[in-house]
C-alpha cells in the first residue's frame, strides 16, 4: 500500500496503488519451477499443434498489463495476438497507440483518478477526481474504448453508509459526461482482508447499492473474482444475483493470486459458464501474477482454462 507508480501524461499525474505488484519480485527461480514452467510450455505447444487449438469465442479474453511488467508491451501485444486475446487493460493513454498497432483494444483502461486509497467516498477529493476524469473520458471515447476504472477509496474511519452517499454525489457529477461519450466508469471491488486494508468497496452489495444511488447505466462494477472470493465467497450465486451491476471481470488464483489452475481453490470453468449463462458479452481479464518462470505460458494456460464451449 505504501508503494506507488506514477503515470505522467501531458494533462495530469496519476498515482495507482502498486500493492498488487509486489509479488512479481518474489518469483522463484528454482530448478523445480523452471522444469514445471518448461513442461507447461511444451504441453501447451503440443496441444495447440495436435488439435489446432482455437478459442471458442464464448468468452472475450483480456489481460492486465501490470501482471507482466517484465515483459515489454510490444512483446505482450505479440503474445496476446498469438494466444487469441483481444485486449490488454490497465494501460494509460501513452500506451494505447501500441495496442492499436497490434489490433488490440483495452477493455478497461486507466489514466484518471488519484489511486486506490483516495476515491469517491471522500468529498475532499471530489473536485480533483472530477477534473481528472473530465480530461480523460473524452480521450477514452476518442480511442474507441468504452470503459475506465475508478475506486471507492479507503474508509479512514468513515462508515459505509456515509461513504456510499459521498461516492454517489461525486460520481453523479460525471455521469452527464460519461453518458455523452458512452464511457462507463467501472468501480473495482477489492478485498480489504489481505491486499487492500481499509478499502471501502469490498463487498458486492455495497457496490450495487452505490450503482442504485448513482442511477446511470454508465456506472458499473468490476467484479474481481479473486478479491470477492476472499471477502465473501459464494462467487457463482453472487454473480447471478448482481449480474446487472457488473460490466467487467478479473481472475486470480486463491490463495496467493497465482495461476488459476489446479494449484488453487476456484473452479474457473464453472465460473466462466455461470458468467456466460447470464448473457454477459463483455470481457474477462486474467489478473493473476504468474509464479512460474514462463509467464506467457501461464497466461496462455489461464486463457484456455477460461475458454469454455
Q: How do residues 11-23 score in pLDDT, each as one tens digit? A: 333 333 444 433 3
Contact 267, 231 (CB under 8 A): no
List, for residues 213-231, the tens digit of each pLDDT value: 999 999 999 999 999 999 9
Tell me which DSSP letter residue 249 carries.
Answer: E
Q: How many CA atoms lie within 13 A of 133 on its CB side?
A: 30
Which of the four pLDDT bands, split at 50, 70 and 90, describes residue 249? Answer: very high
What's the pLDDT tens digit per position in 41-80? 454 554 454 345 789 989 999 999 999 999 999 999 999 9
* Integer CA distances (angstroms), 181 to 14, 22, 91, in order: 22, 35, 19
Is the pLDDT assigned to residue 29 strictly greater than 60? Answer: no
Asked if 158 and 121 touch (Cβ cutoff 8 Å), the reply is yes
Please spell the DSSP secondary structure of 170-229, one letter per residue.
Answer: HHHTTHHHHHHHT-EEEEEP--TTTTSTTBS--SHHHHHHHHHHH--TTEEEEEEHHHHH
**How much of the chain, in percent, has pLDDT values that exceed 70?**
83
pLDDT of residue 3: 30
In this prediction, residue 9 carries a pLDDT of 37
CA–CA distance, 214 with 276 (Å, rounded to integer): 26
- Is 251:284 a contact under the CB 8 Å cutoff? yes
Assess contact for 90 and 5: CB atoms under 8 A.
no
Neighbouring CB atoms inside 10 A of 227's CB total 28
pLDDT at position 24 over 90: no
Instruction: Report the range of poorest mean pLDDT among 22-26, 113-117, 274-278.
Output: 22-26
Query: What domains appear along the chain, each with residue ranges and CATH number?
Result: 9-306 (3.20.20.150)
pLDDT, position 52: 54
Q: What is the pTM of this model?
A: 0.85
43-57, 234-248, 285-299, range with the lowest pLDDT: 43-57
Question: Which residue, 173, 169, 206, is CA-closest to 187?
Answer: 206
Do the bridges between strand 4-9 and strand 12-17 make them parallel or antiparallel, or are there none, so unpaired? Answer: antiparallel
Amino acid at each position: 500500500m505504501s508503494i506507488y507508480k506514477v503515470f505522467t501524461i501531458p494533462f495530469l499525474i496519476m498515482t495507482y496503488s502498486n500493492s498488487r505488484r509486489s509479488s512479481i519480485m518474489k518469483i522463484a527461480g528454482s530448478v523445480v519451477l523452471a522444469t514445471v514452467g518448461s513442461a507447461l510450455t511444451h504441453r501447451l505447444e503440443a496441444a495447440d499443434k495436435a488439435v489446432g487449438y482455437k478459442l471458442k469465442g464464448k468468452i472475450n479474453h483480456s489481460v492486465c498489463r501490470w501482471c507482466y511488467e517484465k515483459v515489454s508491451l510490444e512483446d505482450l501485444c505479440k503474445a496476446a495476438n498469438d494466444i487469441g486475446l483481444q485486449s490488454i487493460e490497465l494501460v494509460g493513454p501513452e500506451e494505447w497507440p501500441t495496442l492499436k498497432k497490434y489490433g488490440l483494444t483495452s477493455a478497461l483502461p486507466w489514466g484518471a483518478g488519484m489511486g486506490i486509497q483516495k476515491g469517491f467516498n471522500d468529498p475532499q477529493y471530489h473536485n480533483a477526481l472530477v477534473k481528472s476524469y473530465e480530461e480523460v473520458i473524452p480521450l477514452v471515447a476518442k480511442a474507441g474504448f468504452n470503459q475506465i476504472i475508478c475506486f471507492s477509496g479507503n474508509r479512514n474511519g468513515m462508515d459505509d453508509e456515509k461513504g456510499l452517499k459521498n461516492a454517489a454525489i461525486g460520481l453523479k457529477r460525471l455521469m452527464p459526461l460519461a453518458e455523452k461519450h458512452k464511457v462507463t466508469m467501472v468501480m473495482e471491488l477489492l478485498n480489504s482482508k489481505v491486499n487492500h486494508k481499509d478499502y471501502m468497496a469490498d463487498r458486492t452489495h455495497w457496490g450495487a447499492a452505490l450503482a442504485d444511488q448513482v442511477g446511470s447505466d454508465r456506472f458499473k462494477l468490476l467484479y474481481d473474482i479473486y478479491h470477492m472470493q476472499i471477502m465473501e465467497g459464494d462467487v457463482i450465486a453472487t454473480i447471478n444475483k448482481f449480474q446487472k451491476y457488473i460490466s467487467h471481470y478479473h481472475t486470480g488464483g486463491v490463495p496467493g493470486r497465482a495461476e488459476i489452475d489446479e494449484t488453487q481453490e476456484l473452479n474457473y470453468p464453472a465460473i466462466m459458464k455461470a458468467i456466460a449463462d447470464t448473457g454477459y458479452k463483455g470481457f474477462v481479464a486474467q489478473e493473476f501474477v504468474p509464479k512460474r518462470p514462463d509467464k506467457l505460458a501461464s497466461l496462455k494456460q489461464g486463457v484456455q482454462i477460461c475458454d469454455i464451449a
